[in-house]
Amino acid sequence: MLWVLLLLIQQTDHTDVVRTAKAAVLAAGINPDAPAQDECARWEITRRTALLLANERAGLLDKPTGNNCKDFAVDIIAYPDGTIVDILGSGREGPNTPQWLVNPNKVDPTRWRAAPALEESTPTLPNLQPISSTPDFTSMDVKLERILFLLDQLQQQQKADTEKLQIQIDTVVKNAEKSATPLILKILSLGIAR
């Protein structure tokens, strides 16, 4: 049952989550589209996407050779069952346009890795000790972005449900009007016959 649920989740198009992750990367001052950037700038989008989808068991793909960053594929989300998804491609938004393309071919499930958490940056001032406990605003931002994304999804679903309900109400009213007209005419004709 769990695998069926994971399969359904994996088939959900999460392009919006990838777009949110890219916005977070840009907000952090990393430009994955800059010509001089290395593959790790692109990987930051992938890592943040995996973190946003961690509740779905999304992770990274182990790739110690070739095009990689920190031994991970730079634009692939992986799932424990070997499902992989290409999340960045050339398009309207440049060389790292968010996308969600599920690969029909699975990889070895042992290549799945949990995404590493975002590093905390502890600010230091000259001649002072580092601040020992700073809130992890990056982690809170990621969680807030995920909550806002889920809220938006919920609002969209509510709107769709409301529209479906209104269509059903309109259909019932039309059917009632069609059914009631002959009945009212028959009642009236009985009164006229007397």
9-48 pLDDT, tens digit each: 556 899 999 999 999 999 988 888 876 567 888 999 999 9
Spatial separation of the C-alpha atoms in residues 90 and 5, rounded to whole Å: 31
Q: Residues with Cβ < 8 Å from 41, sequence gap 6 or more?
A: 25, 30, 31, 32, 34
Identify the band that residue 100 occupies on the pLDDT scale cut at 50, 70 and 90. very high
111-164 pLDDT, tens digit each: 999 999 987 543 433 443 444 444 555 666 667 777 777 777 777 777 777 787
End-to-end Cα distance, the chain: 69
* For residues 59-84, average pLDDT: 93
